[in-house]
Amino acid sequence: MVYRQTEARVQKDGELRERILKLALGRVADAGFAALTMQTLADDAGIATGSLYRHFRGKGELAAEVFSRASQREVDALAEVLATPASATARLSDGLRQFAARAWDSRQLAFALIAEPVDPEVDEQRLVYREAYAALFVQLLEQGIAHGEFPSQPVHLIAACLVGAIAEALVGPLSPPARAGRDAGLSNPSLEDVSDALVHFCLRAVGAPLPVPEDQP
C-alpha cells in the first residue's frame, strides 16, 4: 500500500508540475517573463506559494524551464521544414518564413524568448538553444554544399551568423516599442517586409540563388 500511495503521489506531483508550467507559459506569452512571479503563479494555480517552491526552486529555474519548453517547440517546427525533400535553398527560405510567421503570431512570447532582459538562468538557456538552431543550419548548409547549391564555406561559423541574423531581424520589429508604434499607426515593417528582408539576406549570405530578381538601383 505504501508503494502504491507513493506512486500515486508521484503521478499527482507530475500532473501539478505540468499544470504549473502551462500556466507559466500562458503568463509569459501574455506579458513576458516580467509578468512571471512565484506569487502570481501560485495564485493562478490555486496553490500556496510554498507548494510552488516544492516544484521549482525559484523564479529563475521556472523561467528557464518555460523558456526551454517554448524554444524546443520552435526548434522542432523549424527542423520539420528543413527535413522536407525540397532543395536546400527552398528549405532555408521556407524555414525562415515559417519561423518569422510563428514569431509574429506570438510576438510577446517571441520577444520574451529572443531578447527580454531576464534572469541569467534564461540567458544560459538562450545560449543552449542558439546552438540547437545552429546545428540545424549546419546540416542544411552541408547538404546545400554537397548538392552544389551553395559555395563551399565554413558551415559552423556561417550557421552561427544565420542564427544571429534571424534573432536580431525579429527583435527590432517584435520589441515592445516597435509594437507600441505599430499599434499607434506609425510605419513599421510588416511580417512580409521582415520575412522578405530576412530571406534575401540569408540566401545571399550563404551564396544561394535568389528566388526573385534583385531590385538593382
The residue ranges that bind a copy of itself (CB under 8 A) are 115-124, 126-127, 130-131, 134, 145, 148, 151-154, 156-158, 160-169, 171-173, 175, 189, 193-194, 196-198, 200-202, 204-207, 214-217
Residue closer to a copy of itself by CB (options 45, 75) is: 75
Give the Cα separation of 112 and 58 in Å (integer): 18
Cell reading at 34: 516580467
Identity of the residue, 56 or 150, whose beta carbon is nearer to a copy of itself in the bound complex: 150
CB of 145 to a copy of itself, least distance (A): 6
SS3 187: coil
**Least separation, in Å, of the C-beta of 151 and a copy of itself?**
5
> How far is the C-alpha of 193 from the C-alpha of 174, rounded, in Å?
13
Nearest approach, Cβ of 28 to a copy of itself (angstroms)?
15
Cell 506512486 locates to 7
* Alpha-carbon distance values, 83 to 87, 136, 137, 178, 200 (Å): 10, 9, 11, 33, 21
Identify which of residues 49 and 190 has a Cβ nearer to a copy of itself in the complex: 190
Residue number, 16 or 160, with CB nearest to a copy of itself: 160
Name the 3-class secondary structure at 85. Answer: coil
CB of 184 vs a copy of itself, minimal distance in Å: 18
